[in-house]
Amino acid sequence: MLTLSQSIFKAYDIRGIIDSTLDADVARDIGRAFGSAVRAKGEQVVVLGRDGRLSGPALAAALAEGMQEVGIDVVDLGVVATPMLYLGTHVLDAQSGIMVTGSHNPPDYNGFKMVLAGEAIYGDTIQALYQAIVNKEYAEGKGSYRTYDIADGYQQRIVSDVKLARPMKIAIDCGNGVAGAFAGNLYRAMGCEVIELFCEVDGTFPNHHPDPAHPENLQDLIRCLQTTDAEIGLAFDGDGDRLGLVTKDGQIIYPDRQLMLFAQDVLTRHPGEQILYDVKCTRHLAPWITERGGKPLMWKTGHSLVKAKMRETGAPLGGEMSGHVFFKDRWYGFDDGMYAGARMLELLSREKDPSAVLNALPQSVSTPELQLKLKEGESFPLIAKLQREAQFPGSDQIITIDGLRVEYPDGFGLARSSNTTPVIVMRFEAESQAALQHIQAEFKRVILAAKPDAVLPY
DSSP structure string for 40-103: HTT--EEEEEE-S-TTHHHHHHHHHHHHHHBT-EEEEEEE--HHHHHHHHHHSS-SEEEEE--T
Of the candidates 36, 103, 322, 379, the residue annotated as catalytic is 103
Strand 96-100 to 73-79 pairing:
unpaired
Residue 110 pairs in a beta bridge with 16
Query: What does the alpha-carbon distance between residue 223 and residue 208 come to, in Å, rounded to a whole number?
Result: 14
Query: Residue 458, CB half-sphere, CA atoms under 13 Å: how many?
Result: 21
Query: Residue 29, CB half-sphere, CA atoms under 13 Å: how many?
Result: 22
CB 178 within 8 A of CB 186: no
Query: What does the alpha-carbon distance between residue 147 and residue 304 come to, in Å, rounded to a whole number?
Result: 27
Q: Which amino acid is at 413?
A: G
Q: Which amino acid is at 104?
A: H
Strand 96-100 to 168-173 pairing:
unpaired
Q: Which amino acid is at 255?
A: P
Q: Please name which of 241, 247, 243 lies closest in space to residue 170, comparing C-alpha atoms.
A: 247
Query: What does the alpha-carbon distance between residue 151 and residue 144 come to, in Å, rounded to a whole number?
Result: 22
366 catalytically annotated: no
Residue 53 pairs in a beta bridge with none
Active-site positions read 103
